[in-house]
Structure 1
């Protein structure tokens, strides 16, 4: 295609200040990156990459904003048919690309088998998750589906003690790795999010899904760091549904010590009683601080891994 001009005329780019396009050279040099975001514009969405790549973009006949790379050359050497390309100056002004490329060998084979999770007591709601994915994440699911249990035969796992909205968050996380809980709202909605996240952590305990619990802990910490609101009314919920070595308990006590007030221990705040294990953990932490046996700063402003359960292993965030 060297030296040949193309007869097809593409519409000029008008008013695209967010784009800085380098000139395409129709010779032995090959570039790819100049036009990799151009199809986000309405007038170019129906053109293929090859059609865009082979057209002669110049300021004289296209009305294109042209900025050739300054002090950079495009290389013509190829390796296995691939030509190395350099970013043109102004590439930082391209529309960001949010695609996250991963290793092809890590592709998940979802298969065809699914599990129905029937969640809730009064008006249960069904959620469907691929068995391969659910079993890979949850030791609880692996056990439920590994033997001749009723759950394995019916391919239905009932969760009467959980809320449908809580499992919906877990289902979203399984497929997207996102914790969809941010309300961006007032104090009432802030309180709802704290309860939402605590219930999700409790579900993670039941499912024995450590990365999910770590992700929920991160979400709570993220909320703590960006908010001046906390909900101590959830203290007994945390302690009644987590084991003694729970990282969520550790986080809760840390917040009480460094951000709390005496009113947080009132019975009407704690639902009529103070959990004995919570009182013991709180007292122990305060005694360690007084003796110089604990860092003199809140742990929740440090590394989130302090509240993760991967111990010395790999963090879920990589």
Structure 2
């Protein structure tokens, strides 16, 4: 498993002390489940894998396991290797490794990732974008494996990134979240609130409206209408001429002359 820098996102929770109840000890003699993703096989103890995921709880039951060629191996080839590795890290340590400039520059993050959107750094696609795109992918994975604790961690990390970088996720990250979640998703509410409270007339916001999914724009527009104060001015009454086809007469005259 490639090393990741965990300093870019602060730990969501810190233990009050080293001592824990005996019953909470990790059983390292437990059955090992192999997660096949990309070119890698990630090995996780069954009880740890199933502790917070409803999907893996069902997938490890005998009736499901016996239907696979290898009952102890699960095929996750449709998922992103970097995301699955980060999830495994979170399962054991409750920390979330995220991309940083060093891991992106030396290729260690790219080696764990098969998505061009998550491996570019340039003026238009900086570290903040890479991090938020990665977090969006991770949230969608949490949705797939039905792990609410993991999804809550991702939400906290997304908010922490927004505060740290002073900007909201890019349209790419927002679209990933919308396309990978259901209508009642808390993550969608967060994205809509980004629009309600942060959107303004700038290249990053106004210039990217058409790049977002129609469903996101519809939700954002509805929320903005609900939140904004009722406007008192009526521009169509104050200057109706702004809605006129001002050059229509000139255009017709020019067309007649050219013919």
Does the aligned pair in 1 maintain the 2:199–2:205 contact within 8 Å?
no
CA deviation after TM superposition for structure 1 residue 98, in Å: 8.8
**1:232 is matched with which residue: 165, 171, 179?**
171
CA deviation after TM superposition for structure 1 residue 153, in Å: 4.5
**2:191 is matched with which residue: 238, 245, 252?**
252
Change (3 A) 1:222 1:279: same
| Distance in 1, Cα, partners of 2:72 & 2:24 | 27
Residue aligning to 1:288: 226
**1:155 is matched with which residue: 72, 75, 87?**
72
Residue aligning to 2:135: 197
Does the aligned pair in 1 maintain the 2:200–2:206 contact within 8 Å?
no
SS of the residue corresponding to residue 108 of structure 1 reads: coil
Does the aligned pair in 1 maintain the 2:32–2:46 contact within 8 Å?
yes
**What is the Cα-based RMSD across aligned positions, in Å?**
2.7
Moved more, 134-143 or 212-221: 134-143
| Distance in 2, Cα, partners of 1:138 & 1:217 | 17
SS of the residue corresponding to residue 243 of structure 1 reads: coil
Change (3 A) 1:152 1:145: farther
CA deviation after TM superposition for structure 1 residue 169, in Å: 0.6
Unaligned runs of 5+ in 2: 1-14, 103-120, 231-259
Residue 102, structure 1, aligned to residue 17, structure 2:
no
Residue 219, structure 1, aligned to residue 134, structure 2:
no
Unaligned runs of 5+ in 1: 1-96, 293-318
TM-score by length of 2: 0.66
Residue aligning to 1:48: none
| Distance in 2, Cα, partners of 1:144 & 1:170 | 17
| Distance in 1, Cα, partners of 2:51 & 2:69 | 16
Change (3 A) 1:105 1:148: closer
Does the aligned pair in 2 maintain the 1:146–1:152 contact within 8 Å?
no
Change (3 A) 1:106 1:221: same
Residue aligning to 1:42: none
Which structure: greater helix fraction?
A: 2
Does the aligned pair in 1 maintain the 2:136–2:174 contact within 8 Å?
no
